[in-house]
Amino acid sequence: MMLGSDVSSLTATAKTAAAQGLSIVVPVYNEAAGLVALHQRLIDLASSLRARYGLTCEVVYVDDGSADNTLAIARGLPADGLDLQVVSLSRNFGKEAALMAGLDHARRGAVLFMDGDGQHPPTLVEQLVAHWIDDGYDVVYTAKANRDNESALRRLSVRGFYALINWGARQKIPEDAGDFRLLSPRAALALRQLPERNRFFKGLASWIGFRQIRVDYEPAPRAHGVTTFNAGRLIGLSIEGLTSFSVAPLRFASLLGALLAGAAFLFGLSILWEVLTTGKQVPGYPSLMIGVMTIGGVQLIMIGIVGEYIGKILSELKARPIYFVAEHTEKHADGGAAQGATERTAAE
């Protein structure tokens, strides 16, 4: 039985890569105000890529349960120079599920992920495509050039997160890398074959390997609205990434337990030494209470860490679908009639 996957048949040369086309996956959540402008920029991008590389493009909008009229606007967007798919999920499943839904529905060879808030500049896509077609890279990922506009606490938290998640990892996750990235056909196929339901795209896209290159950029300011990723959601996403992709918290728990055990042993020796040398016994109540509270608190933290991993195991064993598609609409750039919206009762 073969436990790996052979994707060597999808190896592309500069001559054949363009023929496979590019799918642009854009998860959207309450982006009605800027969706028309973003789509026009993608139309211009598709025209430029077609003129430069002969590259055919499609865009896959994944509506992640928006509460505004994002879906209605997406349905009315024109397929002008590129194919258009609108995938509407039955509720808000989160960005990771929306990215997976877009990857599942992408019908071209290479896949590009970008946000729908306009902060990922479409003009940078040509550079990403050049690294794929001209230079032969399979994964072209972007990263923030700097974090000068962020607070010192947030910068420190980000560094701590990447240090922890990469601790002992064989395949490191690049610091500051985002979801704005391009995958070659074989890299996209490899990512589709990963079976886990608790997905952390930044980690998985690095784990698959292949030739990868980093492109630094400055995110554009949001043209409308405010980000929904507040401190609480960012902490939740960090915990999700750590427990889904790394065993570093468990290793940290083991080391902390070993340190506490060593400290307790040394403290016991100091008490024994004082009794033997002076004959005085140390009053026990304060030291006992401090020790009990410290060990009890650490034990509760460790139980919580283990519980996070047990929760992930339970989620994988339940094998629930990552998402459900409520509506799927297609339009073709060749002028063909759009397929009617179809109701789905199972995840695609």
CB under 8 Å to 315, separation ≥6 — which residues?
197, 198
Q: Which of 53-67, 176-190, 250-264 has the lowest mean pLDDT?
A: 250-264
Question: Angle 111-115-121 (CA atoms, 0-180°, nearest 5)?
Answer: 90
Predicted local distance difference test score (pLDDT) of residue 207: 77
pTM for the model stands at 0.71
Residue found by looking up tokens 């979801």 in the block: 179
Please, is 208 exposed, middle or buried when counting C-beta atoms within 10 Å of its C-beta (0-12, 13-18, 19+)?
buried
Residue 104 is classified by DSSP as H
Q: What is the mean pLDDT of residues 105-127?
A: 84
In which band, very low, low, confident or very high, does the pLDDT at 25 lie, cut at 50, 70 and 90? very high
Q: Are 269 and 230 in contact (CB under 8 A)?
A: no
Predicted local distance difference test score (pLDDT) of residue 337: 41
Q: Are 102 and 26 in contact (CB under 8 A)?
A: yes
pLDDT in tens, 127-174: 888 888 888 888 888 887 666 666 677 677 667 666 666 666 666 777
| Assigned token pair, 4 | 């790996």
Residues in the chain: 348
pLDDT in tens, 280-326: 665 665 666 667 767 777 777 777 777 777 777 776 677 778 888 88
pLDDT in tens, 60-96: 999 888 888 888 888 888 888 888 899 988 888 888 8
Strands (E) located in 199-316:
212-217
In the chain, the percentage of residues whose pLDDT exceeds 70 is: 68
Amino acid letter at 149? N
